[in-house]
Amino acid sequence: MRILLLAVVWLYAVNIAIAQEIEALDQSKLNFRQLEKIINQEVDRPAVPSLSFALIHRNEVVFSHQTGVLKAGDEAQVTNQTVYEVASLSKPVFAVGVLRLAEQGLIDLDKPLYKYLPFDELEKTDKSYRTVTARMVLAHTSGFPNWRWFDKPPASVGITRGDMFMKAAPGEFSYSGEAYHYLARVVMKLTDADEKSLDKVLTELVPVKDNSDIFWTWDPSLSQRKAFGHKQGEPTDRDWPMSFPDDTSDKIGVAGRLHTNAETYAHFLTALYNEQYINRRSLMKMFTVQSAIPPDTFDYKSNCLVGWGLGVALGASEFGSRHYHGGNNGDFQSGFTIYRSGEIGFVFVTNGDDGERLHRLFESIIENGTPLPTNGKPAPKARHISFLAQHF
């Protein structure tokens, strides 16, 4: 009996030890306690007041950590209930909703969107948009500007700020939130929803965990749970991100206004890879290159991204394929990278304007393990563009 008890205690101890670390991609150790130390040291309170992080391994969330303050100058700490603007990480969630509708036969990915709902402004000024499909929107080849209010139109167009225009010819790569907004209006029509009720449609199409930590539109609880955004160390005043002057917090913004935290978003990703939302055929479409990223861009040269699938950027590393997305609302910055279709990856969200620098740091940790930080900043290893040819 004593031997059996000792065996049980030993197995319990082994399981606890296993739970504290996993193998990085280079087969070195990725230790959770060391990772937590790195996360704590990487939070630069003036520039990135807080950080939410989650680690995925074999399509499960195995570690999460939140650190920092809700607002610079205050002592209130973030918790696992704190939510952030995840910015463009909204796009993959919406893309999955569209793919579900395609599986149900409600939308055809290759049918021109104007046949569902004409774009009234462009109908008057530039009918070239009529070739744009849902697939092109999700692969960023609509030719639309990112946002009409932020992208400066060419002088030759002769329009004022805020008027819609075509930034490129349909079929050319042009990252666009504006195109997602158009596709969202199409989805509203097909589902009998509007900007105030589409959030319920998407929540039903793409349920995340228990849905208590994910918000497409304003909820009264956010007044206590949402972290403050920061620019240059100072809190920003706005309560809700805006893409258009008339945006309000009760209108959905599928391209950049989702609110959640890293752990909840990681649960969305694991459910996606575990085929809980869309079937394997749709997953293959999502993670197959649909459009090429121009080789003279930062994403190609520095992030080793070569194309877009449907709602997700695709790239490579010396360890294999990478699925990638970043998010930047200015005062909130975020991102995720998943290797080998869910084998290992991470999500991070920050409430400051210096958070993007952490994306490569976390990729380095996933690829090469968790050395103790030097002066708070382990140096990420450089990538080489030659890896791309091996995988795409």
What is the model's pLDDT at position 161? 86
pLDDT range class, residue 392, cuts 50, 70, 90 = very low
Give the amino acid at 30.
L
CA 145 vs. chain centroid, Å, equals 20
Instruction: Give 67 or 373, the one with higher predicted confidence.
Output: 67
Which CA distances in Å does 304 have to 257, 321, 324?
Answer: 26, 10, 10
Which CA distances in Å does 277 have to 181, 199, 255, 324, 374?
Answer: 22, 17, 19, 19, 41
Burial of residue 380 (CB within 10 Å: 0-12, 13-18, 19+) is middle
Average pLDDT over residues 307-319: 94
pLDDT tens track for 264-307: 999 999 999 999 999 999 999 999 999 999 999 999 998 999 99
What is the model's pLDDT at position 376? 47
Tell me if 158 sits within 8 A of 333, measured CB to CB.
Answer: no
- Please compute Rg for the chain using Cα positions: 22
Domain residue limits, the chain: 22-236+248-391
What is the model's pLDDT at position 13? 37
What is the model's pLDDT at position 45? 65
pLDDT tens track for 143-194: 999 999 988 887 777 788 899 999 999 999 999 999 999 999 999 999 999 9
CATH number of 22-236+248-391: 3.40.710.10
